[in-house]
Structure 1
Amino acid sequence: MPDFPNIIHFAIPFFVLSMALELYVTTREKFKETKGYETKDAIASIAMGLGNVFLGFLSKAIVLWAFVLIYNNFRLFTIPVAWWSFVLLFFADDISYYWFHRISHECRLFWASHVVHHSSQHYNLSTALRQTWSGGFYSFIFWLWLPLLGFHPAMILLQMSISLLYQFWIHTETIDKMPQWFEAVFNTPSHHRVHHGSNPIYLDRNHAGILIIWDKLFGTFQPELEHEKVQYGLVKNINTYNPIKIAFIEWFYMFKDAFLGKKSLKDRLNYMIKPPGWKHDGTGKLSDDLRNEWLEHFDDKKPPIKG
């Protein structure tokens, strides 16, 4: 087993210093229109991050066990630990993250854990720490094909950490745009602000981890529009700073929808499989419905195909 360091733990001082710098910067006149930091919101985000790290000791043990089980017994090839294999793994991990992230917005069972990250109505570096307490126990299924292919489990976990670390800095309003070539290839604060928007035109867009190319390839890319300021949070905000509620309230609502009332077994299952907003009686609205309504009423704001 290669002995790779847990870079997330080493990065904690960097997280703290970065948030302190951002807090200072957002008090300047230039950023008076940003929401900046709100004490209760930031504390809630940090509490969610600490809970994620604590529960991560258990969830990562399960993930490692699953990866090792597949790698030792079912792998198709043996990919050596080498520089070129890390290049391949970079792309393999990133597309795995894209599909995990996209499905987390299109399937309520995964949304129940991922919604935590979108629950803040603020957007700053502390928002990056607002992580799920439950997703780590089952979201890893999107990466199971990597040990099956022959990538060593330790390599996979390291690359997953690198991806998570990269995504920290894009949670800010203090950076407007990166150079055009960078915006074209990589996930940036501008691209990710869109992802956190509750505006209809921004819903379920820009699922990238590190590379924005997957969104452009699979039709989920949306540039940040100058005339459509991002409104952060959820379509229906939960309005709480209680970490327990933030972590589990969507699980409660999902099970309530699935198991209460008179419904067919198919409809009960659909409440966990279908996208958020789906209702068995046809009264629900999905993100595509909200986006189409927005485009119909604001045709002059129709976004360009290319950012």
Structure 2
Amino acid sequence: MGIIQASIPLFFLLIAAELLVAQLGRRPFYRLNDSISDLSAGTISQVAGVFTKVLLLGVFAWLFEHARVQRLLPVPAWPDGPWRTASGALDLRAAAGWCAAFVAVDFAYYWFHRASHEVNLFWAGHVVHHSSEEYNLAVALRQSAVGGLLSWIFYAPLALLGMAWEQFAVCYALNLVYQFWIHTRAIDRLPAWCEAVLNTPSHHRVHHGVNPEYQDRNYAGVFIVWDRWFGTYTPERQEPVYGLTTPLRSWNPLWVQIHQYVAIARNVWFARSWRDRGGYLFGSPGWRPAREGGPVVLPEVSRDTFTPFDPQVPRTLTWYALAHFALVIPPALWYLAEAESLPVGQLLAGAFYLALSLTNVGGVLEARRWAFASEQARLVALTAAFAFMAVRVPAHWGTVGAVVCLASLAMLWRWRAAFTGESDERMDGDHAGAGRT
């Protein structure tokens, strides 16, 4: 099991602790619909990672094997052995190699993260993480399914310098795990030396702010010194408004993943010149042709006047969505744990089922008409599968599953009149780059 997957229980434990702090302090850190959307997007990201993570590590391993500098020049190998020798003594050379690798991975992450905000094609993947209008530990798990496909470009120099892919994989995972805890409003400021050297909750709140003075700032992963050195650091002067400058206004985790790519594709299709097409792809998220007014001017925002996306649906449907989200999590965890041993057909079928289930949950939270039809179809298919299981397998799980599905169908039908929401999974052509943060 990988470091990130092994950390999942810790993530949920810390989320529970933050929820307790919020409850005791009567501080509105969480909204149920937003948090379900966070965790749904994160689950889809992990499922997609089953298919995509091989690209980053594969390219890295290939470059290390065939193009590292040690193959061409008499350069010492990058130390990557155990920290301790056979006698138990500290191996200073190996320890220094691992520390240097961790710092180097964080340096590469800074530039990848910076490009993910300043280049529209990269932003289309990273926008997923910024689309929540809350700021809490659940938001840390709201990740892109495909945004890292091009990240190898920024980490490739490390392979060329001779860092082994196993060492890179460990440092990369630790870098991401570190960034989990800084997504909180429960911690104000840390001691001055921490704020000067490390990325902290205060620094990262700025990064998630849509306030004009906070745009494109504080890209650090672990060490805030990169922002201080390269001119992208801004301290937290007031609590930010979180989210996107053009709000997404959807709990659909699939639309969360692809909406910016759709906007870019539309703008590229209708662009008048190849220069404009290049601007939509590789310009900043706010880029516009001069004839359309030039770059987008970011509006001023205030927490006093900001209205978060929070569609009102019957409480029964909210509890229904929560229950079925909870029912998706165990098979998702099993899928991730067993992915390496499953055949491709089962991997694809499992990914489809999990994505469909979580998308339906998001649609129910908005009471969308398409969600009513899609969820009925899912439940009918599951009922048939559980009924087959009840006949063929000498256990009660099939019967229990069929009963749960039939009860869910009855509940949906009881509340069918509530599904009045029109589909809003669309984006006008002038929204490409909207949601810049």
Same fold? TM cut 0.5: yes
Number of equivalences: 281
Mark the runs of 5 or more structure 2 residues left unpaired by the alignment.
Answer: 71-76, 81-93, 302-437
Give the conservation status (yes or no) of the 8 Å contact 1:115–1:250. yes
Which structure ranks higher in relative contact order (CA pairs < 8 Å, sequence separation ≥ 6)?
Answer: 1
Distance in 2 between residues matched to 1:124 and 1:48, nearest whole Å:
15
Equivalent in the alignment of 1:300: none
1:266 aligns with 2:275: yes
Give the conservation status (yes or no) of the 8 Å contact 1:110–1:139. no
Displacement after TM superposition at 1:70 (Å):
0.5
Displacement after TM superposition at 1:164 (Å):
0.2
Q: Which structure 2 residues correspond to residues 23-34 of structure 1 after superposition, within 5 A?
A: 23-29=19-25, 32=27
Question: Which of 256, 266, 280 in structure 2 is aligned with 1:246?
Answer: 256
**What whole-Å deviation, never above 9, does each CA across 1:183-203 have from its counterpart, x for those lacking one?**
000000000000000000001
1:275 aligns with 2:275: no
Equivalent in the alignment of 2:431: none
Which amino acid in the other structure matches residue 169 of structure 1?
Answer: W
Displacement after TM superposition at 1:216 (Å):
0.4
Question: Which of 196, 210, 214 in structure 1 is aligned with 2:222?
Answer: 210
Mark the runs of 5 or more structure 1 residues left unpaired by the alignment.
Answer: 295-307
**What whole-Å deviation, never above 9, does each CA across 1:250-283 have from its counterpart, x for those lacking one?**
000111111115x111111110000011111352
Runs of 4+ in 1 over 2 A off after TM superposition: none
Give the conservation status (yes or no) of the 8 Å contact 2:56–2:151. no
Give the conservation status (yes or no) of the 8 Å contact 2:63–2:160. yes
Equivalent in the alignment of 2:170: 158
Which amino acid in the other structure matches residue 51 of structure 2?
Answer: L
Equivalent in the alignment of 1:220: 232
1:114 aligns with 2:126: yes
Displacement after TM superposition at 1:290 (Å):
3.9
Q: Under a length normalisation based on structure 1, what TM-score does the superposition of the two structures give? A: 0.88
Displacement after TM superposition at 1:80 (Å):
2.7
**Percent sequence identity over matched residues?**
42
Question: Which of 106, 111, 114 in structure 2 is aligned with 1:94?
Answer: 106
Equivalent in the alignment of 1:302: none
Q: Under a length normalisation based on structure 2, what TM-score does the superposition of the two structures give? A: 0.62
Query: Which range moved further: 182-191 or 252-261?
Result: 252-261
**What whole-Å deviation, never above 9, does each CA across 1:131-185 have from its counterpart, x for those lacking one?**
0011122222110111111000111111110000000000000000111110000
Equivalent in the alignment of 1:305: none
Distance in 1 between residues matched to 2:172 and 2:50, nearest whole Å:
15
Which amino acid in the other structure matches residue 3 of structure 2?
Answer: I
Distance in 2 between residues matched to 1:45 and 1:132, nearest whole Å:
11
Equivalent in the alignment of 1:173: 185
Distance in 2 between residues matched to 1:71 and 1:161, nearest whole Å:
19
Give the aligned CA root-mean-square deviation in angstroms. Answer: 1.6
Look at both structures and tell me which one has the larger radius of gyration over its CA atoms: 2
Distance in 2 between residues matched to 1:193 and 1:90, nearest whole Å:
23
Which amino acid in the other structure matches residue 207 of structure 2?
Answer: H
Distance in 2 between residues matched to 1:258 and 1:138, nearest whole Å:
20
Displacement after TM superposition at 1:285 (Å):
3.2
Give the conservation status (yes or no) of the 8 Å contact 1:198–1:235. yes
Query: Which range moved further: 45-54 or 103-112?
Result: 45-54
Displacement after TM superposition at 1:284 (Å):
4.0
Give the conservation status (yes or no) of the 8 Å contact 2:178–2:222. yes
Displacement after TM superposition at 1:229 (Å):
2.5
Equivalent in the alignment of 1:75: 68
Distance in 1 between residues matched to 2:229 and 2:286, nearest whole Å:
26
Question: Is the partner of 2:23 in helix, strand or coil?
Answer: coil
